[in-house]
Amino acid sequence: MMKKQISATIIEDSAEGNKIRSISKDLTLASVTSIIIIAVIAISILYVYSTRKAHKSLELRCNNYLASLANVLAVPIWQLQKETIDKTGELAKKAGDFILEIISK
């Protein structure tokens, strides 16, 4: 008698469009959702950290290149010697792409 009532209730609920909830489905959904949320937060934190680190590194490189250029170009033009020209050429060769990128911006 009890089985008939339970199955009748299930059939009635299904007929009305109400879905029967199960604990395994709820736990799976909650687990997947929480894992996705945690992964998104972790990736976002790593992105912000790596972006800031790359920006600081680029700024440090830029400052070093500018300091080197300032030292090389501090010599008056009428006192240029072969050694100074060679140093300027070496610097341009080392940082050619970097300097062109700065100039183009």
Domain boundaries, the chain: 19-104
Q: Which residue has the tokens 């990128």?
A: 101
Over residues 31-86, the pLDDT tens digits come to 999 999 999 999 999 999 999 999 999 999 888 888 877 776 776 666 667 777 77
Q: How confident is the model at residue 8 (pLDDT cuts 50, 70, 90)?
A: very low
**Token pair belonging to 105:** 């911006």
CB 91 within 8 A of CB 68: yes
Is the torsion defined by CA of 40, 42, 48, 53 positive or negative?
negative
The Cα 72–Cα 78 span in angstroms is: 14
Instruction: Count CB neighbours of 95 within 10 A.
Output: 19
Q: What is the pLDDT of residue 2?
A: 47
Look up the pTM and report it.
0.49
